[in-house]
Amino acid sequence: MKWKKTVLATSLVLASSLVVARAQAASDIQSVIDETYVQPDYVLGYSLTEEQKTATLGLLGYSSQDRDLKTMTTSAYAQIMNVADDPSLQLYSSVKIQKLGASEPLKVKIVTPQNITKVTENMYRNAAVTLGIEHAQITVAAPIAVTGESALAGIYYSLEQNGAPVADENKALAQEELKALSDITAENQNKEGFNADKLNVALTDIKKAVADGGGQLTEGDVRTIVEQTLANYGLTSSITTNQINLIVNFALNLSKSGVITDADFQASLTALKDSIVQQAGSLFDGVNLNMDTSQAVEKGKGLLATIWQQIVTFFRNLIG
């Protein structure tokens, strides 16, 4: 009996160390930005002609005194996105990333909105928070019309080249989130009752509720959170069942990830939500911005308590 208790205690110590390590790993991304991005970092799309490079650098505000430029090739894209290298892939979206003060929210500026056809600034911001970025200035440009989805890969590339490896699950979740948001927005363009800003704010609430619930949320819990939140923002009538399923699947995957163990994740979401609401003027008048979307989660179980209980239960079952 004594050896079982010893094994349990040792296992819990090791497991708790792993939980802390995962949370710290996510926070390391912002630490690298704070230390390394005092000068802006630039990542250009591989497919740009020399003339397009010059024009893009002008749009991004590049100075010859800035650090060396980076180019995301198709092989680099394949490596960071964990896909097969396709030399015919067209990469035109380019990004600039620079440090911001800790008190400033994450900012994204698309300087060629006419050429980024599918992704909005707030979609990039939501996905960047999922990556683990808390505060930075991100600028996106493209010389021709593109969807803009590859710009997120440019952000990964910049971070990894500067010593901040982005976890594969963070990349996958950010890509899933960006695709869901952009697809839903494109499909509901000009549909009565739909608003992209409301969808983005709703998603910040959904992600916060998922983080509150920790790893014990069932698919039913997640679906309740999503449906209640969308209804609160008046989006239920315009969003289809398939589109709701996209959000539910993303939120369920998020609930099972290490992303939600980052201590700064919820604070970043709150800052993003407040920023979008403030910029939107009267759009959110009459909306309950303080709705507790975590009511579907068992009360009294905080995130750390939930994670810890899962660890205890796992090892107790393991050793009988």
Q: What is the pLDDT of residues 250-286, one digit of tens each?
A: 999 999 999 998 888 999 999 999 999 999 999 999 9
Burial class (CB in 10 A: 0-12, 13-18, 19+), 1: exposed
**Residue 294: which pLDDT band, with cuts at 50, 70 and 90?**
low
Helices (H), 82-167: 121-131, 150-161
- DSSP H/E element including 59: helix 50-60
- pLDDT band of residue 5 (cuts 50, 70, 90) is very low
Please report the pLDDT score of residue 186 as a whole number: 95
Judged against a pLDDT cut of 70, whether residue 70 lies above it is answered with yes
Pick 20 or 64 by higher pLDDT. 64
Looking at residue 95, what is its pLDDT?
97
Task: For residue 48, name the pLDDT band (cuts at 50, 70, 90).
Answer: very high
Separation between Cα atoms, residue 307 and residue 301, nearest integer Å: 10
Determine which of 5-9, 176-180, 263-267 has the lowest per-residue pLDDT on average: 5-9
Give pLDDT, residue 306: 57
Report field, pTM of the whole predicted structure over 0.85: no
Which pLDDT score is estimated for 26? 43
- Cα 288 vs. chain centroid, distance in angstroms? 24
Tokens of 257: 């990830």
The better pLDDT of the pair 317, 54 is held by 54
| pLDDT band at residue 295 using 50, 70 and 90 as cut-offs | low
Sequence-distant (6+) residues with CB within 8 A of 160 are: 80, 166
Q: Is the pLDDT of residue 14 over 50?
A: no
User: Is 9's pLDDT higher than 50?
Assistant: no
Express as a percent the part of the chain with pLDDT over 70. Answer: 83
When pLDDT is cut at 50, 70 and 90, the band that residue 13 belongs to is: very low
Q: How far apart are CA 276 and CA 194, in angstroms?
A: 16
Mean pLDDT estimate for the chain = 86
Dihedral of CA atoms 29, 303, 104, 150 in degrees, nearest 10, equals 50
Q: Where are the domains of the chain?
A: 15-319
- Taking residues 222-250, what's their average pLDDT? 97
Q: How does strand 94-99 pair with strand 136-141?
A: antiparallel
The answer on pLDDT for 297 being more than 60 is no
| pLDDT reported for residue 88 | 92
Mean pLDDT of all residues in 178-185: 96
pLDDT tens across 89-128, in order? 999 999 999 999 988 889 999 999 999 999 999 999 999 9
Distances from the Cα of 219 to the Cαs of 110, 223, 249, in angstroms?
A: 35, 6, 9
Rounded CA separation 259/317 (Å):
26
Q: At what angle do helices 241-255 and 219-232 cross, to 10 degrees?
A: 120
> Is the predicted pLDDT of residue 300 greater than 70, yes or no?
no
Tokens of 113: 């909105």
